[in-house]
Structure 1
Amino acid sequence: MKANLETIKEHLNSEEDILSTLYCVINFGYISRFGILAATNKRLLFCSDAMFGKGLKWEFKYTEIEDFSHTNGVVLEISAIPFIKKITMNHGDDFIVFDNFSSPQNVQSFFKLVQSKQ
C-alpha cells in the first residue's frame, strides 16, 4: 500500500498539524524506502510504503536534527547543471538522506520550512 496523507494523519498527536509533505525516498544505513515525508509543527515524520503488511515509520524531533542541509545544483561559470535534489541530516548516530522527490520544485520551500522550525 502506498503511504499517503492519511497514513501520516494516523501518527499525529492531538496538538500536531501537518505543514508540508513530500513524496520521496529515505536512505540510511542499508535501508532505502519510498514513502511520504511530512513536516509538522513538532517534528519530521516519514512513513514508508507497505511492501508486505505494515509500512515503517520514522520520526525526527526538530531539536534532535543536526546538520540539516540540501543540494540544489552545481553552478559552472554561466550555467547550472541540475542533479538529483537531496535533503540530508544527522539524527543521533544516523546520517539520513532524502531524495528521489516526486515534486522536486517543492524541495526548497520544504527545506526552508523545516529550517525555520529548528
Structure 2
Amino acid sequence: MKANLETVKEYLQSNEEVISTLYCAINLGYVSRSGILAATNKKLLFCADYMFRKGFKWEYEYAEVNHFNHTNVIDVEISSIPAIKKIILNYGDDFIVFDNFSTPSKVNPFYELVQSKI
C-alpha cells in the first residue's frame, strides 16, 4: 500500500502535528524506498510504502540534524533521468538523500519550512 498522511499520524506523539508532506523516495546508500516524507513540529518522519505489513519508518529529530540542504539548481547526472531535484540530510553518521518527488514544485517550500525548524 502507498503510505499516506494516515500512516504518518500512526507514529506521532500526542503533542505532534504534521505541517507539510512530500511523496518521494529515501536513499540511504544501501536501500531505497518510496513513501511519504512528513515535517512535523518536532521532527522529520519518512514512512515507506508497503505490501503486506507495516512499512519501514525513519525519524529525524530537528535538533540532531548536522546538515540539511537541497539542489536548488538542476543537477546533470549520467543516468536515464538527466535532471533530479534532491534534499540532502546529514544525521549523525548517516547521509540520507530524498529524491524522485511526485510534486517537485513543493520541494522548495518544504525545504524552507524544515530549514526554519533546524
What's the Cα RMSD here?
A: 1.5
Q: Distance in 1 between the 2:53 and 2:4 partners? A: 16
Q: Which residue of 2 aligns with 1:22?
A: 22
8 A contact 1:73–1:83 mirrored in 2: no
| TM value normalised by structure 1 | 0.90
More strand by share: 1
Q: Which residue of 2 aligns with 1:6?
A: 6
Instruction: Find the residue that maps to 1:63 and give its secondary structure.
Output: helix
Q: Which consecutive residues of structure 2, in runs of 5 or more, have no partner in the other structure? A: 76-81
- Structure number with larger C-alpha Rg: 1
Aligned residue identity for 2:19:
L
Report sequence identity in percent.
Answer: 66
Q: Which residue of 1 aligns with 2:79?
A: none
Q: Distance in 1 between the 2:29 and 2:55 partners? A: 18
Corresponding position: 1:40 with 2:40:
yes
Shift of 1:83: 2.1
Instruction: Find the residue that maps to 2:21 and give its secondary structure.
Output: strand
| TM value normalised by structure 2 | 0.90
Q: Which residue of 1 aligns with 2:111?
A: 111
Q: Which runs of 4+ in 1 moved over 3 A?
A: none
Q: Which consecutive residues of structure 1, in runs of 5 or more, have no partner in the other structure? A: 76-81
8 A contact 2:74–2:84 mirrored in 1: no
Instruction: Find the residue that maps to 1:55 and give its secondary structure.
Output: coil
User: How many residues are aligned here?
Assistant: 112
